[in-house]
Structure 1
Amino acid sequence: MNEIKKGMTDKEIVDYVNNVLEQMSLKEKVFQMSGNGLIAKVIKDRGFGKRAYDAAGSEKFKIPPFKFTDGPRGVIIPGSTCFPVSMARAASWDVDLEQRVGDVIGKEVRAHGGNLFGGICINLLRHPSWGRAQETYGEDAFLLGEFGAALTRGVQKHNVMATAKHYVANSIEESRFIVNVKLDERTLREVYLPQFKRCVEEGCATIMSAYNKVRGKYCGHNDYLLRDILKNEWNFQGFVHSDWMNGVKDTVAGVTGGLDVEMPRAKYFSFKKIKRALQEGKISEDMIDESAGRVMKTILKFVTREDPQIYNGDLIGCNEHHQIALETAEKSIVLLKNEKDILPLKKDQINKLAIYGKYAKIKNTGDRGSSNVSVKKVFTPLKGIQNYLGNSIDLIYNDGTDIAKVKSTAKEVDVAIIVVGLNYKDEGEYIKEFKTGGDREILSLHTEDIELIKAVATENQNCIVVLIGGSAITMEEWKDQVPAIIMAWYSGVEGGNALANIIFGDVNPSGKLPFTIPKDPKNLPFFDNSVDEIEYKYYHGYTLFEKEGYDPAFAFGYGLSYTTFKYENLRVELKDDKVIATLDLQNTGKVAGEEVVQLYIGFENSHIDRPVKLLRGFSRVFLEPNVLKNVKIVVPRKNLAWYNPKSKSWEIEQIEYTVYVGKSSKTEDLLTTQFTL
């Protein structure tokens, strides 16, 4: 048998593993198929995420184990860099930046001793009540796919196996263990699967199956999803592991369905149960060889690559990584409202400033489930603004609980900043024993936050509302009473510094919403986290709003800047298998800024039921004042296709299409032109 060495080719790895499988006992093969022993380590650590957890591998055959860590807002092992949550990062619409975030995560995984990162969460935001919305990249499958692919590239650059999760249709939290999702083939193929296919094309090493059922079968048992589509149709070469704790319900169903690894224990994929299933003829040893082989091949594919650098402990949470977290937070902040250009604030015109709200002062980086990154020091909004101002302005802080005192101080200050929103108790991964997280009960702010906003706004017209959260927050009850609104998200370890830089104009806001904020939650799809069965329909988010003619409070892709941009001269060229759109973009304001140019393809002339338009490209462009730049966005022709369930194939209609390009998904924000196939 050849030795394992750096630089092995794919063929050499396949030959090596096939040779190993011929020599392995059944028990040694089955050992590859679970996270056997991980639970004991978690118990010993008195909590999840204290280290990288090893499983599989073979000391006898010199195959290292995989070493699992989780995410996605950073490596969850204490001390790691805590980035803004994925939803915030999606608001940057900057895939190059997301790849750099992945680069940092990859380095820190390795520095912690890990080699598998389970944090590429690309589940679709079907409804903003979903408790784990903050862990994903929004409501659009194309945006999800591009960001998931970017994070995968960054992480895997450092020979860390990236896991895309939760496959598939996992968009409700509290009933995730039992709910059966009904959906038709077009909805599955066009809405819920594209982002996973994109990550597979990018080379993601592993896939995590979801807890829920799809069409009556648990995702971890679902041969149509795991074997027919993922492994056969998409030619996925990595391994599939279950979600943690109860992601498998039956030995035979799991093995025959195409699941390779049960995590984090061997409850159903134990040697005893698999041996019995083999003896009873319910599974074959070829299936065991396939799963064990996939695990070992994937591990060897990554551990035999040359590392681009050395990974020592000094990398973990280092200043360079915190600077990337700061940049990410700055680019993710979305300016939703700015009447009379109240922002940016000018220090020399302010003598006294008040900051209200408990979330201004507490560490609030997101939920406390499997994505929690434990950090000792966080720059809160209050700390960030204090750092920025120093002693130059008289700064008052009030937690907002005493409304009478709030009103009296609000009268006395030049500007009031109100920090309100959500925390880990309102939304997040639902863990029954901890009684936190879960799906959101309301989409509005809590009553006390609304009362605080109204109290300040009544006394001081120069007020700015800063929203903390991981998804859409409705604000019809109060948004007309304040001149400025900022969506600041769960913004990570440097969030407060980023907020100060935005508020005082050192950084021009450039974030755009990765979801639709409704005026009326009744316009959203049906959501009930207590049912054991639900239908996911074809339309949601901006596609639903446009199809039904609903007017959102803030549209998908919306976000303001301190400058203005002019779009003109939109042109389209068909070349080879591409649609190439070009336009002129000019910064017509007085300050430099970045604009996210968004391209949508319209299907008004379709002969079938299709969305009004779909996002199919975007580009982030920096411009100095008065500078004009030609911008090009390329759309592969395959991205015009729809899935025909009758022919079981993707088809491109020979019709006239509309190209929309502009600063948001709103019709009035878009230039249009047409082309015909």
Structure 2
Amino acid sequence: MENATGGVQSAGRVSMSDAALPVAWAASVHAFDDAVRAVRAGTVDADTASAQLVSLLTEKELLGLLDGDSPRRLLPFIPALLGRRPFVAGAVARLGIPGIRFSDGARGVVIGAATAFPVTMARAATWDPELEQRVGVAIGAETRARGANYSASVCVNLLRHPAWGRAQECYGEDPVLVGQMGAALTRGVRVHTMACVKHFALNSMENERFEVDVSVDDHALHEVYLPHFKAVVDAGADSVMSAYNRVRGEYMDVNRALLTDVLRDEWGFTGFVTSDWVFGTHDAVASLQAGMDVEMPLRMLRARALPAALRNGQLDRETVLRSAHRILRTSIQHAATREQQEPAAADIASAPHRALALQAAAESIVLLKNDMVDHAPLLPLAPDTRRLAVIGRLADEANLGDHGSSRVRPPSTVSPLQGLREAFPAALITTATGKDEDAAAALAAQAEIAVVVVGLDQHDEGESVVTGGVDVGILGRAFNSGLSRRLFIGLAHLAARFVRGGDRSSLELRPSDASLIRAVSAANPRTVVVLIGGSAIVTDAWRDRVPALVLAWYGGMEGGHALASMLTGDTEPGGRLPFVIPRDAAQLPPFDSAAKAVVYDDKWGQRHLDGQGIAPAFPFGFGLGYTTMTHELLDHTFADTGGSARVLVTNTGDRDGSIVVQLYAADLAAEHPVAQLLGFQKVTVQRGASATVQIALDAGPTLQRDPITRQWHPRSGEWALLAAQHSPSNWTDAVPLRPTSD
């Protein structure tokens, strides 16, 4: 019987006829390395090399490619093991096949001690894909140095609502920004390891991520929630991780419409798909048939079901071979093309990587407000400041982000308090947690400047802890009937007592934090509020009381140094918001963290406010600097395949600074035009100087997809283009987007 790769099935082994292969090598521990060398030398391509390896596999080895290698009894210990070693799937020692050696890594490698970069959302605020690619190279190098070859570091789920618990792991609310930043990280990570993009698709809530069913029409699905995934696939992503949730009634691991029809047939993706962990595989056979190649991270459903399904004909061998081929082809191709020099252990948290973490943190900080105090902006702080009060429960905390699967454990951290102490070595710096408001106010009253550090931590938002509410029946009879089940659920409940995580219950600060800001600002009119968090924090209840407001994110291991350098003016506050901050949460679409079914449309964030004609507290793309900039759209070209625009930028202030030039389009025929980001570029301009920048324009937001032909066509309307420094509300200076006929 002929198999999927042109070979012949023999008893217990998948073999291939010699005629099908121009090159063959022996079944030895060197087989995988031989394949890689042959591809690197150009003797064969990766398809041929993987076919040869598949022909050498026994049936047990072949099926072993399709799930994790560790036994399911390790389930309760996954969190601890994730921080100690890679999780391996599909290793075949007999043939030297290393398998997929998994590490998480959205803000750095989770194995051992490693460089903790700012969270993904913070890096999105840099609006700097080139910098993000450098971060990706560093994360990939440290991943490889820790023994992994596969990094699930690229999270491009769209921020539909800032209450999403894992908002900090994504790049914000706009598909173009998310796509460009995710593509940049992908290119960087792939220098050293295979890059996995997650969570495909429509995964934008946490508490019910295992069960929620997302309804979405074709317009919103293909034109809003998928373009950034395609951008990352086009950038070379090796793998895609499917999501836990359902889309249009089907769990993503069995969702052939998305995993095969869209991802592979429409987009041309040739890599492999893995499940989200443990609860992301619902049917061993159906998931394989739908296009989900590897069940991660343990031997669970497939280990029990696939051998029998293959014997009784429920599962076609062709389906098994197809997934095996994808996995091995991708692994061989990447091993043949990645950087050949192995990163050393000394590269982990090395001085260059720490410097990169510092740069990313410094460029991410968003200055939201900087009012005049005594005839001058409060920030930057004067270098001769002698008395400084640093107040707040987060002032002396590392606070690197949530404690879920993306947690990184750096060898050292710098808190905001430590950073300010180093920046002002001669100053008297007093500090208080703020638990005693009267004492905190008294300290503030005696200081020249009061810095209040408040916001969120791992208890307020993050990856949720799995509880008994999850249907653990998926784990199998052996797991549910004994000690393993009780241990797993017990550990989950114990963890939940100490780290709640999950979706946020409010977009505002804790009441105690807001009360502290009022008390300190009443005692000292020169108060700077520093917000820590992973997405939007509503500030209208107290913002008018303070002259300076800074969003510093979860800034990574060098976050305290970065904050201090920005407050002192050593670095420019170069961050810009990757989402809108409303005046009230009620201005956004509703968010129900307990919903079992949701409808996703094309109205969220800044777009929702635009469509309603509502002015936000801070628009998408907003951020102040320490200088003033002007911009002028000089000219542009545009077609259905994209275009470019030239913008003249002038620094009219008295110090060097940066600007993020943003190009927006909108249909001016609408009652309330909705801004669509088409392109952007960050540029530094010296004081008094000008620079002309050319910015690529993405046509995607102005196009619509025909669901029958799958072809893209211009959207109707009076489309105009505008250069701006944040999402615009006034389109007076806009110019026609497309050329007009005479």
**What range describes the TM-score normalised by the shorter chain of this pair?**
over 0.9
Are 1:247 and 2:280 an aligned pair?
yes
Tell me how far 1:305 sits from its aligned partner. Answer: 2.8
Specify whether residues 469 and 256 from structure 1 end up closer, same or farther in structure 2 by C-alpha distance, changes over 3 A only: same
Residue 526 of structure 1 deviates from its aligned partner by: 2.0
Residue 200 (structure 1) aligns with? 233
Look up the match of 1:403. 437
Q: Does 1:305 pair with 2:337?
A: yes
Q: For the Cα contact (< 8 Å) 1:431–1:438, is it kept in 2?
A: yes
Which of 300-309 and 497-506 deviates more? 300-309
Q: Which residue of 1 aligns with 2:579?
A: 515
Which shifted more, 21-30 or 407-416?
A: 21-30
Corresponding position: 1:469 with 2:504: no
**1:53: how far off?**
2.2
The separation in 2 between residues aligned to 1:173 and 1:610, in whole angstroms, is: 32
- RMSD after superposition: 2.0
- C-alpha distance in structure 1 between counterparts of 2:245 and 2:503, whole Å: 15
Spell out the pairing of 1:33-432 with structure 2 (5 A cutoff).
Answer: 33-37=66-70, 43=77, 46-158=80-192, 160-270=193-303, 272-305=304-337, 307-340=339-372, 341-348=377-384, 350-390=385-425, 392-432=426-466
Deviation at 1:668, TM superposition (A): 4.5
Residue 467 of structure 1 and its aligned partner are, at CA, apart by 0.1
SS at the partner of 1:337?
A: strand
Cross-structure match for 1:460: 524
SS, match of residue 676 in structure 1: coil
The answer to whether the 8 A contact 2:124-2:578 is kept is yes
**Residues 548, 625 of structure 1: CA spacing in aligned structure 2 closer, same or farther, 3 A cutoff?**
same
2:736 is matched by which residue type in structure 1? Q
State the SS of the aligned residue for 1:378: coil
Aligned to 2:661: 597
Q: Partners in 2 of 1:472 and 1:241 — Cα distance?
A: 31
**How big is the shift at 1:31?**
0.4
Q: Give 1:562's aligned residue.
A: 626
Corresponding residue of 2:10: none
Alpha-carbon distance change, 604 to 151 in structure 1, aligned in 2, over 3 angstroms: same
Please tell me whether residue 641 in structure 1 is matched to residue 700 in structure 2: no
Q: Of the candidates 616, 639, 651, which is equivalent to residue 678 of structure 2?
A: 616
- Counterpart of 2:645 in structure 1 is 581
Question: Residues 75 and 81 of structure 1 are in contact (CA less than 8 Å); yes or no, is this contact kept in structure 2?
Answer: yes
Contact 1:661 1:670 in 2 (8 A): no
Residues 337/257 of structure 1: CA separation in 2 closer, same or farther (3 Å cut): same
Code of the aligned partner of 2:380: P
Which whole-Å deviations, capped at 9, do the CAs of 1:566-600 have from their partners, x for residues lacking one? 11253223479543211211000001011000011
Q: 1:655 to 1:183 in 2, by over 3 A?
A: closer
Contact 1:567/1:671 (<8 A) preserved: no
Confirm or deny: 8 A CA contact 2:613 2:672 kept in the other structure: no
| Counterpart-to-counterpart distance in 2, 1:580 and 1:85 | 30
**Per-residue deviation, 1:235:** 1.1
Q: Which of 658, 662, 665 is residue 720 of structure 2 equivalent to?
A: 658
Of the structure 1 ranges 658-667 and 47-56, higher mean CA displacement relative to structure 2 is found in 47-56
State how 1:530-569 maps to structure 2 within 5 Å: 530-569=594-633
Cα drift, residue 44 of structure 1: 8.9
In 2 relative to 1, CA 363–662 (structure 1 residues): closer, same or farther, beyond 3 Å?
A: same
**2-structure distance, mates of 1:39, 1:386:** 49
* Structure 1 counterpart of 2:70, one-letter code: G
- In 2: Cα distance, 1:573 partner to 1:603 partner: 18
TM-score under structure 1 normalisation? 0.96
Output the CA distance in 2 between the equivalents of 1:546 and 1:233.
Answer: 32
Tell me how far 1:472 sits from its aligned partner: 0.3
Tell me if the contact between 2:453 and 2:530 (Cα under 8 Å) persists in the aligned partners. yes
Contact between 1:335 and 1:560, CA under 8 Å: does it hold in 2?
Answer: yes
Whole-Å separation in 1 of the counterparts to 2:232 and 2:640 = 25
- Does the Cα contact within 8 Å between 1:138 and 1:515 map onto a contact in 2? yes
- Number of residue pairs matched? 671
Whole-angstrom distance in 1 between the partners of 2:408 and 2:201: 25
Q: How far apart, in 2, do the equivalents of 1:45 and 1:496 lie?
A: 28
Cα distance change on mapping 1:65 and 1:87 into 2, 3 Å: same
Task: Say which of 623, 627, 647 aligns to 2:689.
Answer: 627
- The residue type equivalent to 1:664 in the other structure is H
| Shift of residue 638, structure 1, vs aligned partner | 5.3
**Distance in 1 between the 2:222 and 2:331 partners?**
30
Deviation at 1:54, TM superposition (A): 2.2
Evaluate the alpha carbon distance shift between residue 44 and residue 101 of structure 1 in structure 2; reply closer, same or farther with a 3 A threshold. closer
Quote how far apart the aligned CAs of 1:361 are.
0.5
Identity %: 39
Pairing 1:502–2:566 present = yes
Question: What is the alpha-carbon distance in structure 2 between the residues aligned to residue 201 and residue 47 of structure 1?
Answer: 33
**Structure 1 regions of 5+ residues with no counterpart?**
none
Between 52-61 and 477-486, the greater mean CA deviation after superposition: 52-61
Range with greater deviation from structure 2 (42-51 or 439-448): 42-51
Distance apart, 1:283 and its partner CA: 2.3
Residue 501 of structure 2: aligned partner: 437
When residues 257 and 465 of structure 1 are mapped into structure 2, their CA distance, relative to the original with a 3 A threshold, is same
Deviation of the 1:40 alpha carbon: 6.1
Contact 1:165 1:207 in 2 (8 A): yes
Query: Residue 299 of structure 2 aligns to a residue in which SS?
Result: coil
1:568 and 1:671 in contact (8 A); partners too = no
- Alpha-carbon distance, 1:656 to partner: 4.4
Q: TM-score, normalised by structure 2?
A: 0.87
- Which structure 2 residue ranges, 5 or more long, are not aligned? 1-23, 26-33, 467-491
Cα 1:639/1:530, change in 2 over 3 Å? closer
Structure 2 residue 523 is the aligned partner of structure 1 residue 492 = no
1:482 aligns with 2:546: yes
Aligned to 1:450: 514
The AA in structure 1 aligned to 2:656 is A
State the alpha-carbon separation in 1 of the partners of residues 332 and 672 from structure 2.
Answer: 44
Cα distance in 2 for partners of 1:395, 1:572 equals: 52
- Tell me if structure 2 keeps the 8 A contact 1:664–1:670: no
User: 1:547 is matched by which residue type in structure 2?
Assistant: G
Amino acid at match of 2:523: E
Query: Which of 60, 70, 94 in structure 2 is aligned with 1:27?
Result: 60
Structure 1 residues 526 and 14: CA distance shift in structure 2, 3 A:
same
Deviations along 1:200-227, one digit per CA (max 9) or x if unpaired, are 1011000000000000000111000101
Alpha-carbon distance change, 39 to 488 in structure 1, aligned in 2, over 3 angstroms = farther
Q: 1:425-449: per-residue Cα shift (whole Å, max 9, x none)?
A: 1000001312121000111000110
* CA drift at 1:62: 3.1
In the TM superposition, what whole-angstrom CA distance separates every residue of 1:512-545 from its partner, at most 9, and x where no partner exists? 0000111111121221121211111111111111
Q: Pick the structure with greater CA Rg.
A: 2
Shift of 1:86: 0.3
CA distance in structure 2 between the partners assigned to 1:10 and 1:416 by the alignment: 67
Contact 1:638/1:652, CA 8 A, preserved across alignment: no
Q: 1-side partners of 2:338 and 2:247: how far apart?
A: 40
SS in 1 for 2:664: strand
In structure 1, what residue type is equivalent to 2:330? Answer: T
